[in-house]
Copies of this chain bind each other. A is one copy, B any other.
């Protein structure tokens, strides 16, 4: 076996408590003649069997009614109307559990939840637990390439592609289980940068393997999506153009979609990165992104498919000399004029911030700008800019802050959480994360990085759960029920994002990262590059002014957000250098000057990592040696990395300012 069961390793020690229920399963009211339902219900029943057998050493019995068997009924799957897809209700009585749901997917999620609650000792008698997924689309984007590499992958190679072909093996099903267990229901398996033969996936290349994957996904209620090359018909030689208003192009896409749905009726739809970082798109033909997206959406519509269109569009050939261009404006500027022009089955996929997955960014203003457009928020649990799964950085607290942000979109508060869970037409909205998985045995490289995968799924299903609750729950089902362990793991996870922010780039300015691979510090790494990510530090100060005297990017926000960020009195410290250019002697709300903040936060961040090592080290003998040692080694590597960040950035600013550290700490 080349994989571990991650948090689905049922052999981990469980809490004492309500566990006998995992012995027998009866399906009531479900029509198992529907093949889709039947296969998902079979997965649910199989999950009970696995848990029962691993936890109690006794395999559960699956029956078709509540009357059969001799041991009495333990678990009942009870079909109920009047619940949304994926929702479930768990009712417990003495020695029995009923999982009510309107759909087989609801049953499956109820089963996973029941097992989690049993394992964490949180399922008591006579309780009723009702859960209903907040987002109708809970998605992972894999950036896997046909050659088996993964763009921004930090945990091994692809487990979808090998040697330029799709493949399936045991791991395919385990992956589906793993992500379904936290409610993921949509997965795009190939990189949004669709190169070479990946272009053909949509039109027949490796069709049998694609069908196999879709089926396995289907068993776990997951819809398969395919990332498209916008120029596919042209790249494949079928047309001379990829103009979305060209009749042949539209016809080609219609036929292609028809053929696809004949083979894969449950296909979710397409995901498209167009006119971005060298990808083809409608701009080449003088068309709008609405023209491009709608043309594709109309090919999908007859089949109920969705067209997900990424908004990560900006000029990546910028001249650093031209200070009038501001990449932070690009996403909003490119899409705001198209509000209301997209078809109902189009969803815009918008990165959480205006830049690109930095450790701290404001929320993308586009969420507050579009009123008549379906939107999904795109997070990145692949830690491209946040330690690359070599360093621990638990991102759920960041996602929580973002989801709670008020955009004042339309008439109400316009909370991001509501925009991406409620505002879509026909449920066309949701949350997506760029996945952090690969073929490393533990799936995510760093063992603690799995908390981001787990947490993203949980959050997409229930944005009200707290980051602390997720950390605690994940730790218990991953490392076993041990209060010291889960308390310590939670402590490490909760301090990791703030630590990472402290020892990397200060006050929201971002981008002090090594170019290309994006690991480790390089203060001027992007300073003179075409990527539009500048801090323009000089002997007096640093930052790009984005307020009224600058690029006016702040004007993209609605009031009162706009004034809040524009006004230095209210703009929060952690974002002040994202929005404003400041001198080093500017006094922050914290009472510190900018240069003092830079020094202090960088020393503190590295100290925090030392603390994390101390906390983890105290868990020796309470965690199996393999995971203990490999995590310890990564934490020690992180300390080295944190010191490098600290020293480079402090030295850089000491050289610029000549200001000595008040506390006389070592700056090289």
Residues of A in contact with B (beta carbons under 8 Å apart): 320-321, 521-524, 528, 536-540, 647-648, 651, 654-658, 668
Judge whether A540 and B656 touch: CB under 8 Å: no
A640 to chain B, nearest CB (A): 11
Contact of A537 (CB < 8 Å), options: B320, B655, B658 = B655
Judge whether B321 and A658 touch: CB under 8 Å: no
Distance A587 CA – B523 CA, assembled complex (angstroms)? 30
Tell which of A320, A528, A651, A657 has the most Cβ of chain B within 10 Å: A528
A585 to chain B, nearest CB (A): 14
Judge whether A658 and B540 touch: CB under 8 Å: yes
Residue of B nearest to A320 (CB): B668
Judge whether B655 and A528 touch: CB under 8 Å: no
With A321-B668, A523-B524, A668-B321 known to touch, is A538 a contact of B647 (CB < 8 Å)? no
Contact of A658 (CB < 8 Å), options: B536, B539, B648 = B539
With A321-B647, A321-B668, A668-B321 known to touch, is A658 a contact of B524 (CB < 8 Å)? no
With A524-B523, A524-B524, A648-B528 known to touch, is A538 a contact of B321 (CB < 8 Å)? no
Distance A651 CA – B648 CA, assembled complex (angstroms)? 21
Distance A647 CA – B321 CA, assembled complex (angstroms)? 8
Distance A456 CA – B651 CA, assembled complex (angstroms)? 43
Judge whether A655 and B524 touch: CB under 8 Å: no
Residue of B nearest to A643 (CB): B321
With A321-B647, A647-B321, A668-B321 known to touch, is A656 a contact of B524 (CB < 8 Å)? no
Copies in the complex: 2
Tell which of A321, A523, A648 has the most Cβ of chain B within 10 Å: A321
Tell which of A654, A657, A668 has the most Cβ of chain B within 10 Å: A668
Closest CB pairs A-B (n = 5): A538-B655, A321-B668, A524-B524, A539-B539, A528-B648
Residues of chain B with a CB closer than 8 A to A536's CB? 655
Residue of B nearest to A648 (CB): B528
Residue of B nearest to A647 (CB): B321
Distance A658 CA – B657 CA, assembled complex (angstroms)? 12
Provide 12 A-B residue pairs closer than 8 Å at the C-beta atoms, listed in order of the A residue.
A321-B668, A521-B528, A522-B528, A523-B524, A524-B524, A538-B654, A538-B655, A538-B656, A538-B658, A539-B539, A539-B656, A656-B656
Residue of B nearest to A523 (CB): B524
Distance A395 CA – B489 CA, assembled complex (angstroms)? 61
Residues of chain B with a CB closer than 8 A to A521's CB? 528
Residues of chain B with a CB closer than 8 A to A538's CB? 654-656, 658
Residues of chain B with a CB closer than 8 A to A320's CB? 668
Contact of A539 (CB < 8 Å), options: B523, B648, B655 = B655
Residue of B nearest to A657 (CB): B539
Distance A524 CA – B537 CA, assembled complex (angstroms)? 13
Distance A112 CA – B654 CA, assembled complex (angstroms)? 61
A542 to chain B, nearest CB (A): 10
Residues of chain B with a CB closer than 8 A to A655's CB? 536-539
**17 more A-B residue pairs beyond the given contacts A524-B524, A539-B655, with a C-beta to C-beta distance below 8 A:** A320-B668, A321-B647, A321-B668, A521-B528, A522-B528, A528-B651, A536-B655, A537-B655, A538-B654, A538-B655, A538-B656, A538-B658, A539-B539, A539-B656, A539-B658, A540-B658, A656-B656
Distance A648 CA – B657 CA, assembled complex (angstroms)? 20
A545 to chain B, nearest CB (A): 16
Distance A663 CA – B539 CA, assembled complex (angstroms)? 22
Residues of chain B with a CB closer than 8 A to A656's CB? 538-539, 656
Residues of chain B with a CB closer than 8 A to A537's CB? 655
Residues of chain B with a CB closer than 8 A to A523's CB? 524
Residue of B nearest to A321 (CB): B668
Residues of chain B with a CB closer than 8 A to A651's CB? 528
A649 to chain B, nearest CB (A): 10
Distance A524 CA – B524 CA, assembled complex (angstroms)? 7
Distance A524 CA – B540 CA, assembled complex (angstroms)? 19
Distance A5 CA – B651 CA, assembled complex (angstroms)? 54
Residues of chain B with a CB closer than 8 A to A524's CB? 522-524
Distance A320 CA – B320 CA, assembled complex (angstroms)? 28
A643 to chain B, nearest CB (A): 10
Residues of chain B with a CB closer than 8 A to A647's CB? 321
Distance A657 CA – B655 CA, assembled complex (angstroms)? 11
